[in-house]
């Protein structure tokens, strides 16, 4: 089923469910354009700062920051070019470092 098609029962899904989630969820507030930055460490630092200062998050700061980054990567899906995906995956590694978490196993 694609976005906007009717679900069983005749209800339609919102055309922009991910935008709705971003705007209305208890997710943290982000600096505009943070995911367009070219420096993975800068992305990670900004996410860490946002997570630690947000009053809208429910989880601990690390989990909130990592969830936002993963949500963005997943939302972009196949429209995310390889270079941008690589920068964002490196930002995950930087976020782990900033929070003293073990590196991801490759």
**What does the H/E/C string look like for 58-95?**
CCCHHHHHHHHHHHHHHHHHHHCCHHHHHHHHHHHHHH
Beta-carbon contacts of residue 18 (< 8 Å; ≥ 6 apart): 71, 75
Each domain of the chain, given as residue ranges in start order, spans 33-98
User: For every one of its 106 residues, what pLDDT tens digit does the chain have, with 9 covering 90 and above?
Assistant: 455 555 555 566 556 665 666 566 555 678 888 999 999 999 999 999 999 988 777 788 999 899 989 989 998 888 899 999 999 999 999 999 999 999 887 6
Give this prediction's pTM: 0.73
Query: Helices 61-76 and 82-98 sit at what angle, rounded to 10 degrees?
Result: 170
Task: Give yes or no for a contact between 35 and 52, defined as CB atoms under 8 angstroms apart.
Answer: no
């Amino acid at each position: 089923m694609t976005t906007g098609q009717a679900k069983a029962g005749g209800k339609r899904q919102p055309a922009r469910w991910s935008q709705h989630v971003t705007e209305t969820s208890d997710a943290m507030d982000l600096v505009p354009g943070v995911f367009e930055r070219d420096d993975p460490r800068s992305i990670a630092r900004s996410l860490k700062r946002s997570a630690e200062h947000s009053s809208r998050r429910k989880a601990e700061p690390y989990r909130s920051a990592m969830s936002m980054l993963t949500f963005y990567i997943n939302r972009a899906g196949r429209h995310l070019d390889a270079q941008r995906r690589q920068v964002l995956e490196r930002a995950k590694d930087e976020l782990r470092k900033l929070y003293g978490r073990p590196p991801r196993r490759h």
